[in-house]
């Protein structure tokens, strides 16, 4: 047994071994991306349904856009309801657009957004959505705002309408390296200091959260309970992810997403954006307060979706990179009935990326460690998915995947997928896990991989029980370049507390790059 343990640690050590290089050998590049927030008013088909339906839906979108050249861009993002009575309507999609100057700071902008999601299944059916739009954009110093005419079309259902939308866009500069330089350590000397590396790093935090919601007041469930719309007394178990970016040494902005895995039939989800501040910081302990505004819904009484979420807590730093936190808060639907006290814990990862200097202390790092990351988009087909009415159906889903390399062979992977075809609009999952890839073979064009992922799924009458899902997959990558690959994978999706046991086939692509982490 001792020999096996020794061999295991030798193996891990060899996997993490990296040769040291001079920083002058690392070619950095800046990606001038943008974050677009838009607001769309969509008239509802209330004349076509036998139940009461608000005449107008307020739809908010968040899209992260990446330029492909001077006039073409792509991106991915979410849309969600905040007014009307469709709280819980969330979509995930991808965008392809063009942007070209007309006169001075005035631009023409047009794009096509394709995705999947849903709220009321009688309105969206399968959940597929196409949103073409075009309009004018005014840019100044990287920031911009605009107005567009478009057509929100849930083409699998009856929810569709032409509309006018408004958007603002803020710049997001990302300094990266090539994926071929991933998992390397670069040291600093006088010869390697140039203008690119003297720019400050970005201070950020990524965290995985486990929360409990304790409903109070007039909180009610939807029609999936017996009796319908019963008062909520169940504790809701929630899992989520949060990204924080620091604006000053103690003030940050953040984005947060949650989904429920126990307490009700699966389907509840929320998405927040907000600002936070640290207080009474010491070397190992930090107290904080946050205020978030966003959207929430699913499996609760129909409401607009707009929600606020103030919270307070404290962090304990375990190392320079890792920490844990405890927090409590108040989750409240604005203009709705759902409200809950919350409590939970988080595992945090602290990072300084994209430069050598701490952005606030001006302290300089002595080396940079590159970590490979990847972003993937897939079309996923799930065969014979079990439904609550004892039927089965094939589902088409659109998926966004994020990869984080632990070393050249092992990686962490997270995924969110939304249905767009199969009469199950509103079904979605969020899963994460571990992957292992082979060396490249056949002239470096192919590699194989295995992934074991688990998480939460639900909505649209898919029989996931309370939502826990497990999905092993195996697949093949075809490497077109060092950074870009096509992939195909097959797997089995199982819900331990439901009746889903479905084979799936996934087709997509992945783009990889290196994130530059500063080290003292």
pLDDT value for 466: 81
Q: Which pTM does this prediction carry?
A: 0.90
Cis upstream peptide for 272 (omega within 30°):
no
Q: In CATH, what is the architecture of 31-174? A: Beta Barrel (2.40)
The pair of structure tokens assigned to 26 is 């690392």
Torsion angles phi and psi, residue 338, rounded to 5 = -75, 130
Token pair of 211, please? 């929360």
Q: What share of the chain is helix, strand, coil (3-state, %, to 5)?
A: 5, 65, 30
Judge whether 495 and 468 are in contact, CB under 8 Å.
Answer: yes
Instruction: Return the CATH class of domain 370-519.
Output: mainly beta
Classify each residue of 386-417 as buried b or exposed e, where b means 16 or more C-beta atoms within 10 Å of its C-beta. bbeeeeebebbbbbbbebbbbbeeebebbbbb
The Cβ of residue 499 has, within 10 Å, a number of other Cβ atoms equal to 16
Please identify every stretch of the chain with a pLDDT value under 70, giving residue numbers as ranges.
Answer: 1-18, 189-194, 520
Span 202-353: which CATH code?
Answer: 2.40.160.20
154 alpha-carbon distance from chain centroid: 22
pLDDT reported for residue 280 = 79
**CATH 2.40.160.20, the chain: domain bounds:** 31-174, 202-353, 370-519
Q: Taking a C-beta distance cutoff of 8 angstroms, is the pair 454, 468 a contact?
A: yes
- Write down the pLDDT at residue 192: 52
Locate 214 and state its tokens: 């304790």
Partners of residue 72 on adjacent β-strands: 98
């Amino acid at each position: 047994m001792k020999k096996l343990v020794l061999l295991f640690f030798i193996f891990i050590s060899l996997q993490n071994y990296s040769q040291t290089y001079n920083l002058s050998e690392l070619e950095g590049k800046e990606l001038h991306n943008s974050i677009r927030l838009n607001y769309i008013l969509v008239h509802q088909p209330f004349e076509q349904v036998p139940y009461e339906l608000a005449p107008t839906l307020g739809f908010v979108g968040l899209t992260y856009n990446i330029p492909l050249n001077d006039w073409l861009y792509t991106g991915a993002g979410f849309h969600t309801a905040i007014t009307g009575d469709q709280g819980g309507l969330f979509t995930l999609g991808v965008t392809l657009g063009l942007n070209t100057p007309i006169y001075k700071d005035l631009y023409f902008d047009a794009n096509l957004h394709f995705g999947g999601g849903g709220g009321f299944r009688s309105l969206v059916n399968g959940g597929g959505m196409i949103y073409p739009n075009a309009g004018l954009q005014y840019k100044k110093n990287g920031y911009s705002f605009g107005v567009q005419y478009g057509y929100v079309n849930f083409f699998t259902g009856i929810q569709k309408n032409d509309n006018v939308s408004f958007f603002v866009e803020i710049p997001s500069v990302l300094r990266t390296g090539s994926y071929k330089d991933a998992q390397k350590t670069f040291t600093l000397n006088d010869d390697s200091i140039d203008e690119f590396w003297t720019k400050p790093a970005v201070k950020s935090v990524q965290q995985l959260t486990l929360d409990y919601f304790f409903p109070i007041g007039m909180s009610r469930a939807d029609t999936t309970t017996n009796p319908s719309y019963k008062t909520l007394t169940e504790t809701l178990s929630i899992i989520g992810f949060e990204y924080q970016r620091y604006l000053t040494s103690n003030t940050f902005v953040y984005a947060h997403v949650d989904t429920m895995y126990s307490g009700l039939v699966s389907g509840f989800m929320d998405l927040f954006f907000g600002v936070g501040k640290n207080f009474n910081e010491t070397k190992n302990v930090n107290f904080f307060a946050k205020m978030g505004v966003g959207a929430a819904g699913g499996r609760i009484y129909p409401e607009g979706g707009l929600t606020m979420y103030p919270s307070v807590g404290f962090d304990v730093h375990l190392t320079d990179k890792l920490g844990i936190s405890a927090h409590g808060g108040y989750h409240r639907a604005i203009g709705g009935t759902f409200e809950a006290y919350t409590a939970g814990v988080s595992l945090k990862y602290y990072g300084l990326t994209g430069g050598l200097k701490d952005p606030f202390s001006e302290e300089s790092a002595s080396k940079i460690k590159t970590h490979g990351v990847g972003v993937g988009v897939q079309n996923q087909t799930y065969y014979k998915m079990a439904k609550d009415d004892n039927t089965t159906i094939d589902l088409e889903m659109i998926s966004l995947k994020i990869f984080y390399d632990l070393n050249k062979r092992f990686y962490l992977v997270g995924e969110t997928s939304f249905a767009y075809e199969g009469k199950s609009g509103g079904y979605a999952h969020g899963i994460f896990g571990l992957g292992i890839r082979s060396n490249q073979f056949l002239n470096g064009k192919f590699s194989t991989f295995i992934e074991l992922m688990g998480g939460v799924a639900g909505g649209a009458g898919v029989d996931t029980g309370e939502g826990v899902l497990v999905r092993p997959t195996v697949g093949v990558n075809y490497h077109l370049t060092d950074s870009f690959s096509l992939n195909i994978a097959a797997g089995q999706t199982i819900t331990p507390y439901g009746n889903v046991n479905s084979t799936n086939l996934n087709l997509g692509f992945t783009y990889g790059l290196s994130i530059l982490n500063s080290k003292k």
